[in-house]
Amino acid sequence: MEELDVEPAITNIPAASDGKHLGFAWGPGDILAYETLYMAPGAKGSGCSFIHEVRKDEDIYSPILRKLFNESHHIFVGLQTIREDLPSKNKKTQFVSISKNYRSVIRACMEELQQVAASVLVLQVSILLAIELIWNLCEVLFIDAAPAGPLLLHLLDWVRLHKGDVDEKAREVLQSESPAEHHDYWDVVVSYVLQGRFEEARQMLVKQATLQPAARNMYKLMDTLLSKMPFYNPGGTQTLTEFDVKWRHWHEEVDRCLQDNSFASNQHLEIICKILVGDEDTLLEHKELLSTWYHFLVTRLLFCHPTVKPTELHYYAQSCMTMFLDLRSVPEPLDSILLAAFEFDIHQVIKDCSIALNNWWFVAHLTDLLDHCKLLQSHNLHFGSNLREFLLLEYASGLFTHHSLWQLAVDYFDNCPEFGHVYLELQIERVPLDTERKALKVLRICEQRQMSEQVRSICKIMAMRALRNNRLGSALSWSIRAKDAAFATLISERFLQDYCARGTFSDLDLIDNLGPAMLLSDRLTFLVKYREFHKLYEENRFSEAAKLLLSLITAKIAPRSFWMTLLTDALPLLEQKECNVVVYLLLELGDMEKI
Amino acid sequence: MCRTDRVPTAGILWLALVVIMFVARSIAADHKDLIHDVSYDFHGRRMATCSSDQSVKVWDRSENGEWHCTASWKTHSGSVWRVTWAHPEFGQVLASCSFDRTAAVWEEIVGESNDKQRGLSHWIKRTTLVDSRTSVTDVKFAPKHMGLMLTTCSADGVVRIYEAPDVMNLSQWSLQHEISCKLSCSCISWNPSSSRAHPPMFAVGSDDSNVTYGGKVQIYEYNENTRKYAKAETLMTVTDAVHDIAFAPNLGRSFHVLAIATKDVRIFKLVPMRSDRKESTSTGPTKLEVQIVAQFDNHNSQVWRVSWNITSTLLASSGDDGCVRLWKANYMDNWKCTGILKGDGSPLTSSSGQPTAMSTIVGSSVQTSQNALNGMSAGR
């Protein structure tokens, strides 16, 4: 498969001069570049060097693109849930509807971008325009897969949608004092005819006819021709063959008018007649009005071959492109992409789009939709995945570096059965845990997917951070959540040390309500029980307190370092007449000392 | 479906729309000499820089994206070559290595509240590792599942692996392994895979310029039975000095990918040959089949650094031509250069943050598109 060979784009780094090296460091969503010199131990460098943050251009458009990403995410998730067992006719309708949804989201984004007047955005708007144009054609050819007959009608719609300047011009003409004398009048009429919009063409012509009563018959004839052109009705009872016959009759009639010189005295009507008969030269004389080779293609099909079959398209497409483009002008990537579409070479379309557009959003979503329509043959890629997954992974990975869009990426990874899980594991770890709330959000996602190692790691990071900032309670809850016994022990030690130093406990709420979590580590259990001892004592439940104290010793979970403290705690109990307990305590301790 | 001959596509006009990157921000680093390394922390919110001015600086990124220097201190008595962050599970920990033959470990101390208000933090030295007799050229932490382990390599050809058994006491490090590679070492890279199918593995590169000494990249693997690292492979086809080396993050693959910066950029695939680990006795390290995946000499001469992005979908390299190049593989595993960063010596203007390349190029397709767009909302 030959490839669009695209030269890599060069980004200039200011203040980094010739003869110096450029160091770099990968970051989330960017790359840092700085001037340096490698392996020159003696070399002296400049004092004040800069570190440059280099980003992808998409970042500028983020605020508006964000809506595109959010809404398309919604459509994407819905698409994944379409049941496999639906009859194919129902599925096709749904797929077409989803395709239209995607396109309306693109158009909405474009309109928003247009509101923001900035030269830089003009380029982004062009990209979206091209995307929508390509997507629309793919919808017509691949998803809707219209057969001969409806095919041309869909292509006409496609062209009309992407050549809206006609309406603007028409508005201007109609709003003028004398529309029929406006300098753009005939351009509008011809444009309507070229787009097969005969109703509107006829209405415009009426205005001219009223101005030229002498030529009334000619205008009447033209009006008749225009009104009689057959258009295939997909919902009707007429077969394609019947339509074809009718159309040929009409075509012959138009041709007769030409031969008869019926319009010879009116150059404009003569031109329209030639267009109706499908005269190539006349069509090509109106390149400016057609403006693109694919408009030329559809117009030519309309007037020469309205029953064109999908399989015949590429012959016409290739020849129209050749005829329309100058010998000098070089076809642009958009042209190759559209041509590949007319050739029904889906893989080439996707490939060329990935290269030319550098926009993963488009190829990822379109490919996913085409895959659902079962239109992609599965290629065995070198690492065992497929094209759809490759593109979705690329797109979603890009989302992950956004501070809020990363959550959308999760759903995409979920729907990549081969590598989605491992990609998610790798990237979700890097989401900065700026706040507890964010950390909990990330945790929930990991817990839902049984990503136990990531859960443990995130909790450990949070526990460590809390410990460094001396927030023992927070550190303890995080280590419990991490099921990190060693860390829990460490933190319990700190609590106990704190107690020894200050005589009080901190974070009582937490400790009192741990429940079974206290069993995570011996030290933690001791901490909880020891606090319980103090509570009992404060509530004057001395007998229970004493018993608890004793059990702490006998169960051997009291750390040795704490025995003195325990003894000191026990002394007041003597006053409470729990002498027995104290004696037992001393005996126990004595025994343990000997061991 | 027969295809007509494809018209050759230059695609030049549309390339304008393909401009990938721009300089969003420039930070005045304020080092008094050359910067040798810049390292992001795990979450990309902090970075560390080190320089020939013997200091390390730590920078924090605020919510609006601005970088502030929160610490700057002298770390060594010679040029500092590399600086690296430990995994945040171990707290805020940095390691640096220097021409002064030492490596050091630093920990951030949560300071007084007025320090915090002024946006400053303190880093204290936890340990100095003085075992090397020559310049320490690289320092890297091992993957976190191995615990808190630090690796250094030196011009004396020795790789040293240290461990801090008590994560809460960073002043205690013990030298666990001392591996003599026989050739002066310039770089190390750990295989980040934590899969049980792969025992711990690292690669060492040598910048020894004598081409008769054979392979300049050695791969070592840990053996559970001997409790030692043994050489698994030497890449004999790499005979020129190696300046940097980087294992790619493993995305569930059964093989390893290694990028090398030498007189060109090379990407190798290392495929473990032994499938049944259960049979492994102390017969030695896994046999690796070495395949070269790609080789690029666009830098024209020496390549100094290579590094993978997080998902291993992009490789960046820096070379003698003063450029940073970005390499990407398409889904057919064909590698291509997708972007270049080049110093242009132009003065830094205050209007950084605008995509400079974009305003200069406008394709003809844009004009047509603009016209079409004007009518877009009118249609349908």
Instruction: Please state the separation of Cα A16 from the chain's center in Å.
Output: 35
Amino acid residing at B22: F
Which of A380-394, A434-448, B12-26 is least confident?
B12-26
Which of A488-502, A542-556, B274-288, B313-327 is least confident?
B274-288
Q: Which residue bears the tokens 């009872």?
A: A237
* Per-residue pLDDT at A76: 97
Give CA–CA dist A202/A486, Å, rounded: 86
Which of A145-149, A228-232, A513-517, B343-347 is least confident?
B343-347
Q: Please state whether beta strands A21-27 and A30-36 pair in parallel, antiparallel, or not at all (unpaired).
A: antiparallel
Instruction: Give the mean model confidence (pLDDT) for residues B195-200.
Output: 81
* Per-residue pLDDT at B2: 23
Flag if B43 and A433 touch (Cβ within 8 Å): yes
Q: Judge whether A521 and A489 are in contact, CB under 8 Å.
A: yes
Give CA–CA dist B93/B106, Å, rounded: 6
Flag if A22 and B23 touch (Cβ within 8 Å): no
Compute the half-sphere exposure of residue A148: CA atoms within 13 Å on the CB side of its CA: 14
Give CA–CA dist A589/A420, Å, rounded: 58
Percent of chain A clearing pLDDT 90 (strictly above): 50
CA dihedral A514, A519, A523, A524 (to 10 degrees): -10
Which of A293-307, B279-293, B351-365 is least confident?
B351-365
Residue A416: pLDDT above 90? yes
* Per-residue pLDDT at A185: 95
Residue B92: pLDDT above 90? yes
Tabulate helix, strand, coil % of chain A (nearest 5).
70, 5, 25
Mean pLDDT (chain B, rounded): 82
pLDDT digits (tens, 9 = 90+) for A67-94: 889 999 999 999 999 877 777 778 899 9
pLDDT-derived band at B112 (thresholds 50, 70, 90) equals low
- The b-or-e profile of B278-317 (16+ CB within 10 A means b, else e) is eeeeeeebbebebeeebebebbeebbbbbbbbbbbbbbbb
Distance (Å) from the C-alpha of residue B321 to the closest C-alpha of chain A? 7
Instruction: Give the mean model confidence (pLDDT) for residues A164-174.
Output: 90
Which residues 198-257 of B have a C-beta within 8 angstroms of A?
Answer: 207, 243, 249, 251-253
* Per-residue pLDDT at B379: 31
Flag if B369 and A129 touch (Cβ within 8 Å): yes
- Higher pLDDT, residue A44 or B193: B193
Give contacts of B323 with chain A, Cβ < 8 Å.
Answer: 22
- Higher pLDDT, residue B211 or A67: A67
Which of A109-113, A208-212, B269-273 is least confident?
A109-113
Give CA–CA dist B320/B44, Å, rounded: 28
Which of A11-20, A364-373, B79-88 is least confident?
A11-20
- For A432, other C-beta atoms within 10 Å of its C-beta total 18
Distances (CA, A) of A187 to A166, A168, A192, A286: 9, 12, 9, 9
Q: Judge whether A220 and A228 are in contact, CB under 8 Å.
A: no
Give contacts of A457 with chain B, Cβ < 8 Å.
Answer: 89, 144
Residue A176: pLDDT above 60? yes
pLDDT digits (tens, 9 = 90+) for A154-166: 999 999 998 878 9
pLDDT digits (tens, 9 = 90+) for A21-39: 889 999 887 888 888 888 6
Q: Does B371 touch chain A (CB under 8 A)?
A: yes
Residue B11: pLDDT above 50? no
Distance (Å) from the C-alpha of residue B154 to the closest C-alpha of chain A? 14
* Per-residue pLDDT at A43: 57
Instruction: Give the mean model confidence (pLDDT) for residues B239-261.
Output: 92
Percent of chain B clearing pLDDT 90 (strictly above): 58
- Token duo for residue A37: 């010199």
- Token duo for residue B277: 């680990």
Which candidate in B373, B374, B377, B380 is best for mutational testing of the A interface (most A CBs within 10 A)? Answer: B373
Residue B367: pLDDT above 70? no
* Per-residue pLDDT at B348: 66
Which candidate in A60, A126, A402 is best for mutational testing of the B interface (most B CBs within 10 A)? Answer: A126
Give CA–CA dist A211/B271, Å, rounded: 84
Which of A233-237, B190-194, B213-217, B276-280 is least confident?
B276-280
Instruction: Give the mean model confidence (pLDDT) for residues A243-262.
Output: 95
Q: Judge whether B136 and B154 are in contact, CB under 8 Å.
A: yes
Q: How far apart are the first and last CA of chain A?
A: 80
Which candidate in A2, A4, A10 is best for mutational testing of the B interface (most B CBs within 10 A)? Answer: A10
Closest by Cα among A398, A60, A434 to B310: A398
**Closest CB from A29, A162, A332 relative to B14:** A332
* Per-residue pLDDT at A297: 96
CB under 8 Å to A230, separation ≥6 — which residues?
A243, A246, A247, A250
